Chain A
């Protein structure tokens, strides 16, 4: 079996061939799906645990303290300890809550996360689903998370939760526009919606450099809008601890609360991945068109390391937002979107279209 860290295509095809040679097509497909599902499940859990730990360390660094440092070396196993605690907690059933919806809501947010992650390329060949409308699929699927939030707030039978869910619903739906429009700007530059083609197209330079001005504007707008989309940072009034205790997930306890918490971090991961793929090249190393020697040196670092590095850099930036700024009020948030980000986006699309037509990109 040929395993190359630079190109997983051969490895995947070898496994595929082995399965289809030994079982009937139906069972081979089932096995394949199971393997992919398990891999994603484990990667999701590990990534979630690591991100929670990273958040606490970044937060401590900004606040002039140390962060978790007792459980394991440098506090590395803190999240595992927290997770065990959450699993052992009592699942409190709320009187007069809509039991079916109350129990479904956390699962909806997790399922939506999985659906979105499935379409993102992690390295060359490490790509679960490669639609030719990849970006459209990811944007469509991630807007389903608002259903989970609204269900959670409504079925909790508590005024605080309802207020939190309403605020969050309004916020997510508004900011989706800005997210989609800034992604469209990059689609115009790339000329395709397929993720793998977008990454391949950045082989001679990342889009943020190729597209210069409109790409940078789109990047900034995307960062702001996606932070608002995932209820993080200065836009986290849906779960503002100091106002509504915990917003739409106040009434959840134990493992169900863990799902909401985990999905918030995985949303951050997804959003950072999409940004890394569309603006910073995904798994493509940093190439400058024409400098072959330099490009060969850059190629020495495996693509998966490039991908993880870029995503984590963007995650770090998003974490910095949260711990530096105070919170925006709901009407200020919506004003920001409808009166500022949306017009900027529309003008930016025109500029980018013009630049692509005239060939003024790199």
Chain B
């Protein structure tokens, strides 16, 4: 496979050289190739080359039925797997105007928030590790294991469960689920203070993240950067607040916003989000209404002809599903608006003029998951 390395329109000035942060690199978490144009230690520009994990999911969706598509959405942003499933389920339910039971909405919200916390824990531990504090990796994973243990007991697998189906859930939750989740909330509230001691308050970490990777609010909106990355620059884009779905209109939580626009602001937004997620789960976990775990759906799901769009708040930003349906059991065209795709497009803008070491910190604060970009 001969590849043409073709960075466009680059002027080779005195002392400028190209370096390949190739697809195998310890800190581009995933297979992403960045062609950096450097002058000394300073980054002049950056070209991402993606496609190493392009699996043609959108093409596969044109042949699969809607319940089968749920399994494919798991594997895009696999750290927010539940939330991706939620988007497709909501799209089908809204298109067919099906009323899902309240129980389903509550459970889906709780699972979404647990997934968000697990995703942010993994972000925190790899952020610390990229900056050199390798101990953070083990502390974050140790706490994430508690969530994965809850998942394993309730749903049978740790990461990609495909638990939601159009109409409701695949089966009811395990009897231990509520108690274990409540224990986890108590446990994690204490641990998150540890996270602040280890990393947030560390002077080295603050020196390496304050003022680094600045992006203004106008640029963030123009690049379509959403999620904690966008909220770090003051862009209020939380889909849970602006277009509430599931049980989000019944809970009271704050949208984490910072205005500094640098890496430290994005870091603080995610730390706030973890705490807000704990609050949301706390408000819902004791009040799950009794009822069915699924609405009655036809055996074969066919969406009426037309166009539909559904947005949810994944751990990394606004995740959207756009379906063009012609009345069959598979969509005519299914497009996934992936948050990491837009976030990556801003990486070049954010890292110009900073050093290679800063690029690692900026990439860590963007928290991209490559399979979501490549689909």
Contacts and interface: CB of A to CB of B under 8 A. Distances in A.
A65 B208 CA distance: 28
B57 interface: no
A245 B28 CA distance: 11
Given A159-B17, A234-B132, 15 more contacts: A64-B138, A160-B19, A163-B41, A236-B132, A237-B132, A242-B129, A325-B202, A325-B204, A326-B131, A326-B132, A327-B131, A327-B208, A328-B208, A330-B41, A332-B208
B207 interface: yes
Interface string B13-37: 0000101000001110000000000
B124 to A, nearest CB: 13
Contacts of A63: 134-135, 137-139
A244 B129 CA distance: 14
Contacts of B130: 242
B285 interface: no
B158 interface: no
A241 interface: yes
B357 A330 contact: yes
A242 B135 contact: no
Contacts of B268: none
A241 B26 contact: yes
Interface string B167-179: 0000000000000
A268 B81 CA distance: 46
Given A326-B202, A326-B205, A243 B139 contact: no
A324 to B, nearest CB: 6
B26 A245 contact: yes
A236 B204 CA distance: 13
A242 B355 contact: no
Contacts of A330: 41, 355, 357
B36 to A, nearest CB: 10
Nearest to B209: A326
Interface in B173-230: 199, 202, 204-205, 207-208
A236 B131 CA distance: 11
A65 B133 contact: no
A99 interface: no
Q: How large is the interface on B (under 10, 10 to 19, 20 to 34, 35 or more residues)?
A: 20 to 34
Contacts of B202: 325-326
A233 to B, nearest CB: 9
B355 A331 contact: yes
A159 B360 CA distance: 17
B356 interface: yes
Contacts of A325: 132-133, 202, 204
A327 B205 CA distance: 8
Interface in A318-344: 323-332
Nearest to B134: A323
Contacts of A104: none
A330 B134 CA distance: 19
Interface of A: 62-65, 159-160, 163, 234, 236-237, 240-245, 323-332
B142 interface: yes
B133 A326 contact: yes
B361 to A, nearest CB: 9
Contacts of B205: 326
Nearest to A234: B204
Contacts of A328: 204, 207-208
Contacts of A327: 131-133, 204, 208, 357
A237 B27 CA distance: 14
A243 B358 CA distance: 10
B142 A64 contact: yes
Closest 8 CB pairs of A and B: A327-B132, A326-B131, A326-B133, A63-B138, A242-B27, A326-B132, A329-B357, A242-B130
B208 A242 contact: no
Nearest to B142: A64
A160 B17 CA distance: 12
A159 B138 contact: no
A62 B134 CA distance: 10
Nearest to B357: A329
Nearest to B129: A242
B70 to A, nearest CB: 35
Nearest to B127: A326
A155 B41 CA distance: 20
A326 B128 contact: yes
6 contacts: A234-B204, A242-B130, A242-B132, A327-B132, A327-B204, A332-B208
Contact of A326 (B19, B138, B208): B208
Most buried by B among A64, A160, A242, A326: A326
A223 to B, nearest CB: 16
A326 B142 contact: no
B355 to A, nearest CB: 6
Interface string B343-375: 000000000000111101000000000000000
B151 to A, nearest CB: 22
A245 B23 CA distance: 12
A228 to B, nearest CB: 13
A322 to B, nearest CB: 8
A324 B133 contact: yes
A159 B20 CA distance: 9
A240 B132 contact: yes
A118 to B, nearest CB: 33
A326 B360 CA distance: 13
B222 to A, nearest CB: 29
A329 B263 CA distance: 15
A242 B207 contact: no
A163 B21 CA distance: 13
Contacts of B139: 63-64
A60 to B, nearest CB: 9
A313 B358 CA distance: 34
B131 A237 contact: no
